[in-house]
A and B are shown apart, each in its own frame.
Chain A
Amino acid sequence: MLKYSLRRLLHSLVTLFMVLTLVFLLMRLLPVEGYYGERADKLTPAQKEAILRKMGLLDPWYVQLRNFYLQLLRGDLGVSVIYRANVPVKEILAAKIPYSVAFGLGALVLSLVAGLAMGIHMAQNKGLFWDKFWTWYVVFINAVPGAVYLLFIQLYGTSITGLPMLFDRYNVRSWILPLVSMSLSGIAANAMWLRRFMVDELNKDYIRLARAKGMSSRAIMVKHVLRNAFVPLANYLPASILFTISGSIYVESLYSIPGMGGLLVTAISRQDNPLVQALVLIYSSLGILGLFLGDVLMAILDPRIRLEKQGGAR
């Protein structure tokens, strides 16, 4: 188990290294306007060149690459050029991250609770009314772009319930709609996967033995099916938070939440390259971390991986 996790960690670090390098290469392709800052129009070509030189962008590529790695090792994410000129990116992020984490975790909990309940309900009623009913929900959420239904939720959700239309950190009621909106796709995904995993388990041979033992359907559901279906679910869950990036970007901008998703959109639309680079690095690393955690979680839950290569009998 430990050995497995270490091996897996090593692999993740290699992937991370390659992803960072790829991001570096893409970043060199960014439009250079994104480095000039507020007064881009008024700058002379010489001034522009001076800015690029100062940022090290005119150095040979291998020097740039080395500096890129060194900066990252020092935890230096650069300095914003437009969004808040000359403010270190780290400082900007420090103000935003708490909101993103709060909403991310809130939506995670909500989508877990509601999604798993929905998935179980579907699996129990497989092929019957409720299965089909919730399947339509899943289909709708998966097929229709978030922008469409999120707009309508904001528009009619606020007028029907009287909840605030804009986020205000001191008003708890203003958290409700964004949280629910952010959870919708997670609920659909969790429900769909749990249903699929449970149905897979239900078709396995050991269920037949459990029935032959004289266990009730309910006991089999809880003690065998659900328990086993959690393993592949645990594998997919940590990375699933990232599937909702676009969702959080929509929701943060709709409700004016000062989080990282909104920041990414602003950084791109205002062409603030150092900020874009920092955010891309963070999101990519989170992706790798999510997949790593998923595999470790599965290894903890599944004895077949847990005991792998420890010389289990035969």
Chain B
Amino acid sequence: MSEPILSARDVVIKFSLRGQTLTAVRGASLDLYEGESVAIVGESGSGKSVFTKSWIGMLDANGWVDSGSILFEGKDLAKFKTEEEWLTIRGKKIAMVFQDPMTALNPLRTIGSQIQETLELHQGLRGQEAKRRTIEILAQVGISEPEMRYRQYPHEFSGGMRQRVVIAIAIACNPRILICDEPTTSLDVTIQAQILELIRKLQKELKVTLVYITHDLGVVANVADRVAVMYAGEIIEYGTVEEIFYDPRHPYTWALLSSLPQLGIKGQPLYSIRGTPPNLFNEIRGDPFAPRNPQALKIDFVKSPPFFQVSPTHYAKTWLLDPRAPKVEPPEIVKAMRAKYERYAV
């Protein structure tokens, strides 16, 4: 592969909360390549949003990038301090779509003006020209009668339609990277599929690099070329979709796959991961998943594993890949997955 367009290295993100410090992201690394589509998956609270928000300088006021680097267009975004610096990136080069479209739009301003605002901001379009372009974009995200819709207010739109508007705002300025943070989580299932379809279509049309965040592995195969699995603020395994689904190596990925309802084996109870993620206020020693892993090794509790290479595109952060480790079989469900997956992905 060529040079990554964005390269996040060992990013550590902390928050101060009531006089205590909480580490939400502990050394996450990820490379993005031009035009690809990467899914970041993990339980909620694993730091997916925080990690990606740090790329556009949108951490909450009590949070900061403590160490690590985020290289983009020759600049280290982790070193950005002022709002002026971020305004050259945010919305213009890297755009983000958030989870809840019902509250994402200003209820008191027309749909048109909220999209047009972005165009005026980044592309210097004005007046009729900006309006014409706005209507074009509305049509592009699949909104019928865009001229009429242009003048309407958010409350006249359904949830799915609002998410289309939010996506329209995000793509209005042809960003290089589009981050979709659980864009379908709060929508009905049928609408979810439509929005997913739209995102895929736009990614192909605009050749934008897509980062798709979800806690639902089920949708990943539909949007992504590559998958990164996140747990307790670390990326613990990444590879192509096939590698993660056919040949997962980290026990957490196994657990995640086993809990997928679509992949469950008939007659067997649905698997769910026991316990809760670690308390982020505490220092974590060793592998953060160890306390919840019935097959954890003793070393998991003392020393954090490095990344082991499985293939040139597939890496996993688990001691199980160490030559000294005992052989541990993945769960039945994961083994049975291969056949199922072939039918499922089509």
Contacts and interface: CB of A to CB of B under 8 A. Distances in A.
A314 B104 contact: no
Contact of B104 (A206, A227, A307): A206
B156 A312 contact: yes
Contacts of A270: none
Interface in A286-314: 301-304, 307, 312-314
A58 interface: no
Interface stretch (A78-86, A211-219, A255-263): A211-219
B58 A303 contact: no
Given A208-B98, A313-B156, A215 B117 contact: yes
Given A227-B108, A228-B106, A304-B107, A216 B153 contact: no
B87 interface: yes
B211 interface: no
A312 B117 contact: no
B100 A214 contact: no
A169 interface: no
Contacts of B156: 307, 312-314
Nearest to A306: B153
Contact of B155 (A215, A224, A231, A304): A304
Contacts of B21: none
B56 interface: yes
Interface stretch (B4-12, B89-97, B228-236, B244-252): B89-97
Given A206-B106, A303-B108, A212 B96 contact: yes
Nearest to A219: B121
A223 B56 contact: no
Interface residues of B, number: 33
A64 to B, nearest CB: 50
B83 interface: yes
A201 B95 CA distance: 22
B108 A214 contact: no
Given A205-B98, A206-B103, A216-B83, A302 B169 contact: no
Contact of A214 (B92, B152, B155): B92
Contact residues on A (Cβ < 8 Å of other chain), bracket:
20 to 34
A214 B104 contact: no
B202 interface: no
A307 B153 contact: yes
A250 B135 CA distance: 58
A307 B108 CA distance: 12
Contact of B118 (A213, A217, A303): A213
B103 to A, nearest CB: 4
Interface in B163-220: 166, 169-170
Given A214-B122, A314-B158, A224 B106 contact: yes
Given A205-B103, A206-B104, A314-B158, A215 B121 contact: yes
B173 to A, nearest CB: 8
B155 A303 contact: yes
Contacts of A26: none
A227 B114 CA distance: 14
Contacts of B310: none
A37 to B, nearest CB: 57
Contacts of A312: 152-153, 155-156
A13 B178 CA distance: 55
B157 A214 contact: no
A218 to B, nearest CB: 9
A160 interface: no
Contact of A213 (B83, B109, B121): B121
B72 to A, nearest CB: 15
A209 interface: yes
A212 B95 contact: yes
B121 A214 contact: yes
Interface in A178-222: 204-206, 208-217
Interface in B132-162: 152-153, 155-158
A212 B90 contact: yes
B105 interface: yes
A210 B106 contact: yes
Contacts of B87: 214, 216
Contacts of B100: 205
A204 B92 contact: no
Nearest to A230: B108
A197 B170 CA distance: 28
A126 to B, nearest CB: 10
A297 B275 CA distance: 53
Nearest to A311: B156
Contact of B98 (A204, A209, A314): A209
B157 A301 contact: no
B157 A313 contact: yes
Given A214-B90, A312-B156, A209 B166 contact: yes
Contact of B83 (A210, A217, A304): A217
Contacts of A211: 58, 90
A213 B169 contact: yes
B169 A209 contact: yes
A312 to B, nearest CB: 4
Contacts of A307: 153, 155-156
Contact of B153 (A208, A227, A231, A304): A304
A242 B100 CA distance: 41
Nearest to B148: A313
A50 B227 CA distance: 98
Interface of B: 56, 58, 83, 86-87, 89-92, 95-96, 98, 100, 103-109, 117-118, 121-122, 152-153, 155-158, 166, 169-170
20 contacts: A205-B98, A205-B104, A206-B106, A206-B107, A212-B98, A213-B90, A213-B121, A214-B90, A215-B117, A216-B83, A227-B108, A228-B106, A303-B107, A303-B108, A304-B107, A307-B155, A312-B152, A313-B152, A313-B157, A314-B156
- Across the A-B interface, give the 10 residue pairs with the lowest CB-CB distance, nearest first: A214-B91, A205-B103, A214-B90, A213-B91, A312-B156, A303-B153, A206-B106, A212-B96, A313-B156, A209-B104
